[in-house]
Amino acid sequence: MLNHPRWFLVISLAVLWSSAFLGAFLERAWTPLQDQERELFGTIVAATLTLLGLLIGFSFSMAISRYDERKNHEEAEANAIGTEYTRAGLLPTGVRKR
């Protein structure tokens, strides 16, 4: 699936949409909440979504920092390889081939 990101996106959106639709259907099927219960439920939903937002934010932050670190290490490695080729060019011809 990871080799085909467009299909992964389409399938993910379909699963998320159907989950939301099923949740809304089940909410209507259950007994409706009283006003006081609905207010408390709204508070719980807000707190849960806030924690989810924080979790997603920290996850993206860590992923971005690791990506930047990997990119910097890759650049340093490429520079080191280039430096070695340049230094090898300064050696005599017989040693340079080795």
Please state the rounded mean pLDDT for residues 17-40: 83
DSSP string, 22-42: HHHHHHHHSPPPPHHHHHHHH
Inform me whether the pLDDT recorded for 1 exceeds 70: no
Residue linked to tokens 């439920």: 41
Q: How far apart are CA 14 and CA 21, in angstroms?
A: 10
Amino acid 94: pLDDT: 75
CB under 8 Å to 11, separation ≥6 — which residues?
A: 1
Residues 70-96 have pLDDT tens digits of: 999 999 999 999 898 888 777 777 777
Q: How far apart are CA 27 and CA 43, in angstroms?
A: 17
